[in-house]
């Protein structure tokens, strides 16, 4: 097994360069760390190191628990009454499903910018086949680090990544990489990684199958691997026995079927930013709104979509949060138009000396770009902001994301 090291340069290493075992591991499993709890607390630095439970009601169940709470034995699906007994000092937060789906959608956008072959397993995890992205982004290990860095930078939560040649091994590797890590399991090390594990750890093996195997005297994956397939089939059924044999040798599924999470709305794209220090400077806020608008519209153009509704999100120093939206006459993917709308929404709030902690921009009601017929304006320039955006996109594609920047964004670092 190979934990992540310093990323190398794109392309396979030349002669004399240190070998990267991840080149033979095109399947990534990316799993958000304590996703619901992480999203619920990402704007609460005071809660980062204390036990937090996400759930609702005295008779409800735990939706999620952060890692400090898990050390007390609190787990998802546990009755809230029992969770409170296990960890009476835990802070209990109500779930914000809109926020969860919004973050999930943004994370899945990051994955699809790496590769179109993304098989989402749920709101907070997905498999990626990055074999087509290595020429552009480097080895699978390097791509895993790239994904982790973007998720952390843009969504302020962490994820763990398993890198392997098959789906089930990548899933197990991400579990072993938690929290906030990468683990590479190259093909030559698969059996050494798998065979000491309890059979219940195999991806897709539930409690009932595990108990059946334990009753047959098969407790480790290695014991299952060295049991004749016919014996496994007699014990747990023909299909299950054959599948389990492949899992035990790490020869399971290697191809992915692109699909989205069941609950992923995928009708909006957005980004937000928490300032390094609270600010009441309008110029600073508008500059940040421009940066966020550029980020969002760039993703939209990459995805070939446009949207009509622009939503502004503002969080104050006391964590009070406001959202305001405006629907445009035509769908757009133009940075200047989205920014002007977001700035207008901000000014309409009439804030004076209000300390702001976070701002966000989201474009909703997305439709395929080819369906948009923009109204021609009499006397308008032949070349406008739309053409400028596409020129910036072309430069960024060739020379990197920082090749061209708007002059306003050069006036100072973000606060």
In this structure, the chain runs to a length of 415
Distance from C-alpha of 318 to C-alpha of 198, rounded to nearest angstrom:
47
* Catalytic residue selected from 101, 109, 119, 125: 125
337 noted as active-site residue: no
Task: Using alpha carbons, list the distances in angstroms from residue 297 to 49, 205, 338.
Answer: 35, 42, 8
With beta carbons less than 8 A apart as the criterion, state whether 306 and 369 touch.
yes
Tokens of 240: 């299950």
Q: Which segments are annotated as binding site for Mg(2+)?
A: 31, 124
**Pairs from 120-126 (Cβ < 8 Å, separation ≥ 24):** 120/259, 120/260, 120/261, 120/264, 121/261, 122/261, 122/262, 123/35, 123/261, 123/263, 123/264, 124/31, 124/32, 124/35, 124/36, 125/29, 125/30, 125/31, 125/32, 125/174, 126/29, 126/30, 126/261
Buried b / exposed e over 345-381, threshold 16 CB at 10 Å, is bbeeeebeeeebbbbbbbbbebeeeeeeeeeeeeeee
To 5 degrees, how large is the angle CA 106–CA 125–CA 23? 100
Distance from C-alpha of 335 to C-alpha of 160, rounded to nearest angstrom:
32
Distance from C-alpha of 223 to C-alpha of 211, rounded to nearest angstrom:
15
Name the packing angle between helices 385-399 and 282-303 (round to 10°).
Answer: 80
Token pair 């054959």: residue: 242
Distance from C-alpha of 39 to C-alpha of 43, rounded to nearest angstrom:
8
Ramachandran sector of residue 353 (left: φ over 0; alpha: ψ -120 to 50; beta: rest)? left
Q: Which segments are annotated as binding site?
A: 31, 124
Catalytic site positions: 125
């Amino acid at each position: 097994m190979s934990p992540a090291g310093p990323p190398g340069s794109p392309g396979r290493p030349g002669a004399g360069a240190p070998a990267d075992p991840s080149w033979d591991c095109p399947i990534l499993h990316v799993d958000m760390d304590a996703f619901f709890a992480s999203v619920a607390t990402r704007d609460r630095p005071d809660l980062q190191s204390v036990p937090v439970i996400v759930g609702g009601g005295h008779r409800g169940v735990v939706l999620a628990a952060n890692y400090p709470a898990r050390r007390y034995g609190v787990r998802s699906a546990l009755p809230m009454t029992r969770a409170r007994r296990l960890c009476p000092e835990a802070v209990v937060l109500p779930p914000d499903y809109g926020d969860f789906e919004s973050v999930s959608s943004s994370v899945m956008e990051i994955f699809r910018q790496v590769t179109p072959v993304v098989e989402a397993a749920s709101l907070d995890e997905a498999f990626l086949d990055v074999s087509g992205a290595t020429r552009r982004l480097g080895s699978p290990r390097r791509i895993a680090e790239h994904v982790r860095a973007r998720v952390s930078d843009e969504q302020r939560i962490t994820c763990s990544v398993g890198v392997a040649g098959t789906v089930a091994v990548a899933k197990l590797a991400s579990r072993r990489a938690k929290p906030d890590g990468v683990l590479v399991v190259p093909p030559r090390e698969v059996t050494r990684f798998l065979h000491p594990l309890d059979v219940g750890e195999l991806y897709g093996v539930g409690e009932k199958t595990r108990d059946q195997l334990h009753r047959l005297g098969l407790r480790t994956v290695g014991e299952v691997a060295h049991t004749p397939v016919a014996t496994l089939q007699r014990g747990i059924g023909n299909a299950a026995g054959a599948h389990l044999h492949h899992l035990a040798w790490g020869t399971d599924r290697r191809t992915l079927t692109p699909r989205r999470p069941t609950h992923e709305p995928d009708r909006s794209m957005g980004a937000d930013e928490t300032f390094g220090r609270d600010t009441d400077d309008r110029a600073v806020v508008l500059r940040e709104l421009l940066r966020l608008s550029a980020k969002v519209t760039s993703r939209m153009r990459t995805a070939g979509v446009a949207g009509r509704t622009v939503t502004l999100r503002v969080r104050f120093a006391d964590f009070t949060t406001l959202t305001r939206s405006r629907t445009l006459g035509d769908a757009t993917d133009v940075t200047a138009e989205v920014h002007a709308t977001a700035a207008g929404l901000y000014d309409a709030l009439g804030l004076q000396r209000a300390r702001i902690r976070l701002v966000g921009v989201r474009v909703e009601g997305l439709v395929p770009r080819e369906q948009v017929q923009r109204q021609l304006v009499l006397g308008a320039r032949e070349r406008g902001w739309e053409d400028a955006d596409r020129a910036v996109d072309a430069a960024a594609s060739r020379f990197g994301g920082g090749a061209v920047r708007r002059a306003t964004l050069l006036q100072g670092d973000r606060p």
